[in-house]
């Protein structure tokens, strides 16, 4: 493509937007409305998954050893556990550490009467998982390890969190799929109506010898620009709404700050920004490309 043709195509694409400003506004508004709903839903789902993931990180499996087990064997067991694919982190809790923690958590200022450590022999490993759904496989292996006398875990918590995580995943995929399908349908119809109005213009350009590429390019540029604007607008609104909503909840319900640990807006937009822009520009491009193609046969 020659430079002059490129600039002509860009100029015509921009001119088409202003020449048919009501159609352009309707198309951009349709894209913006659909992507706004998509963005809001994505932010909600991402935070739900983050909250569940945070809860999963607090679930641990505790391993207690046989009485009189040598320190070398305890360390060997710890090294074996750390190499397991299910394991994210292993913490060794000595008898003294366990007693100090127990005094702080449960006895407060009433531990002075104890002259000996009642938790002698309660040294253990606290094991945190990469994925709580892997707990069952890890526990089965731990119970087979020589030197381990007891494995404490919470089956109900693990199964509940796994179920919630799976449910959120299925719901998010379903709703996002529906939103995208509705977006493509509405936007394609809007683009089709707008270009159908200019069918005569396309026909005249074809009759005077214009190539398909020359005819199609301005409309494709127009569709891309409309898609870009239509996707950028809701992103700006979502950014403001998300920051305001998170700030309001954290200020008014700070008692729940430990439970409602929201994702920062930058982390949300690290995914939402490229996806929304890609969807908007992609729909604008393909909607215009396919629709103009139908009117190139004259």
- Ordered DSSP codes for 7-75: HHHHHHHHHHHHHTHHHHHHHHHHHHHHHHHHHHHHHHHHHHHHHHHHHHHT-EEEEEEPTT--HHHHH
121 within 8 A of 67, measured Cβ to Cβ? yes
Tell me the pLDDT band of 120, cut-offs 50, 70 and 90: low
Report yes or no on 159 lying in a domain. Answer: no
Answer yes or no: do 29 and 138 share one domain. Answer: no
- Show which of 153, 185, 206 is a domain's final residue: 153
Return the SS3 of 198.
coil
Report yes or no on 268 lying in a domain. Answer: yes
Report yes or no on 133 lying in a domain. Answer: yes
Answer yes or no: do 206 and 286 share one domain. Answer: yes
Report yes or no on 160 lying in a domain. Answer: no
Report yes or no on 32 lying in a domain. Answer: yes
DSSP 199: H
Answer yes or no: do 172 and 263 share one domain. Answer: yes
Q: How far apart are CA 206 and CA 209, in angstroms?
A: 5
Report yes or no on 161 lying in a domain. Answer: no
Return the SS3 of 243.
helix
Q: Please give the mean pLDDT across all residues of the chain.
A: 76
Instruction: Measure CA 12 to chain center.
Output: 38
Can you tell me the mean pLDDT for 256-277? 81
285 within 8 A of 222, measured Cβ to Cβ? no
How many Cα atoms within 13 Å fall on the side-chain side of residue 56? 24
Answer yes or no: do 18 and 41 share one domain. Answer: yes
Answer yes or no: do 77 and 48 share one domain. Answer: no
Domain count, the chain: 2
Can you tell me the mean pLDDT for 93-119? 62
- Show which of 127, 153, 179 is a domain's final residue: 153
Q: What is the rounded radius of gyration, in angstroms, for the C-alpha atoms of the chain?
A: 30
Whole-number pLDDT of residue 208 = 77
- Show which of 153, 185, 213 is a domain's final residue: 153
Answer yes or no: do 107 and 201 share one domain. Answer: no
Answer yes or no: do 171 and 289 share one domain. Answer: yes
Report yes or no on 230 lying in a domain. Answer: yes
The secondary structure of 127-174 as a DSSP string is EEES-GGGHHHHHHHHTTSTTEEEEE--HHHHHHHHHHHHHHHHHHHH
Answer yes or no: do 105 and 243 share one domain. Answer: no
Answer yes or no: do 50 and 123 share one domain. Answer: no
Give the tens place of pLDDT for each residue, 193-235.
656 666 677 677 777 776 777 777 777 787 788 888 888 889 9
Answer yes or no: do 49 and 116 share one domain. Answer: no
Q: Which of 21-25, 31-35, 278-282 is least confident?
A: 21-25
DSSP 116: S
Q: Domain residues for 136?
A: 60-153
Report yes or no on 83 lying in a domain. Answer: yes
Answer yes or no: do 76 and 187 share one domain. Answer: no
Return the SS3 of 117.
coil
Whole-number pLDDT of residue 289 = 74
Phi, psi of 93 (to 5 degrees): -115, 110
Q: How far apart are CA 148 and CA 77, in angstroms?
A: 9
Q: How far apart are CA 78 and CA 91, in angstroms?
A: 9
Q: How far apart are CA 292 and CA 88, in angstroms?
A: 54
Give the tens place of pLDDT for each residue, 149-181.
888 877 666 667 667 777 777 777 787 777 667
Contacts of 42 (CB under 8 A, 6+ apart): 176, 268, 271, 272, 275
Both tokens assigned to 257: 């700050």
Answer yes or no: do 137 and 249 share one domain. Answer: no
The residue among 275, 81, 292 whose CA lies nearest residue 202 is 292
Q: How far apart are CA 142 and CA 148, in angstroms?
A: 7
Percent of the chain with pLDDT over 90: 1
Q: Which long-range contacts (C-beta less than 8 Å, at least 24 apart) are formed by 78-81?
A: 78/125, 80/145, 81/125, 81/127, 81/142
Give the tens place of pLDDT for each residue, 35-86.
888 888 888 888 887 777 777 667 788 888 887 788 888 889 888 988 888 8
Instruction: Pick 171 or 16 by higher pLDDT.
Output: 171
């Amino acid at each position: 493509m020659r430079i002059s043709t490129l600039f002509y195509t860009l100029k015509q694409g921009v001119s088409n937007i202003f020449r048919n400003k009501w159609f352009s506004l309707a198309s951009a508004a349709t894209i913006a409305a659909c992507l706004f709903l998509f963005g809001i839903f994505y932010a909600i789902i991402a935070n739900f998954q983050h909250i569940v993931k945070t809860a999963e990180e607090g679930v641990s499996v505790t391993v207690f050893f046989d009485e009189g087990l040598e320190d070398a064997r305890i360390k060997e067991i710890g090294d074996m556990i750390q190499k397991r694919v299910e394991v994210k982190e292993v913490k060794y809790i000595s008898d003294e550490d366990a007693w100090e923690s127990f005094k702080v958590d449960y006895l407060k200022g009433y531990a002075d009467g104890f002259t000996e450590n009642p938790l002698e022999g309660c040294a253990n490993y606290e094991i945190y998982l990469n994925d709580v759904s892997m707990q069952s496989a890890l526990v089965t292996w731990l119970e087979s390890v020589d030197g381990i006398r007891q494995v404490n875990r919470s089956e109900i918590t693990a199964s509940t969190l796994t179920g919630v995580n799976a449910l959120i995943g299925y719901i998010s995929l379903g709703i996002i799929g529906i939103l995208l399908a509705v977006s493509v349908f509405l936007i394609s119809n809007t683009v089709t109506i707008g270009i159908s109005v200019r069918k005569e213009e396309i026909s005249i350009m074809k009759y005077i010898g214009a190539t398909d590429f020359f005819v199609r390019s301005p409309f494709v540029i127009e569709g891309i620009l409309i898609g870009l604007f239509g996707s950028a607008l809701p992103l700006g609104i979502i950014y403001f709404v998300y920051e305001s909503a998170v700030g309001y909840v954290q200020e008014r319900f700070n008692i729940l700050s430990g439970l409602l640990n929201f994702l920062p807006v930058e982390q949300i937009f690290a995914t939402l920004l490229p996806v929304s822009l890609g969807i908007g520009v992609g729909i604008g491009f393909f909607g215009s490309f396919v629709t103009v193609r139908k009117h190139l046969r004259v």
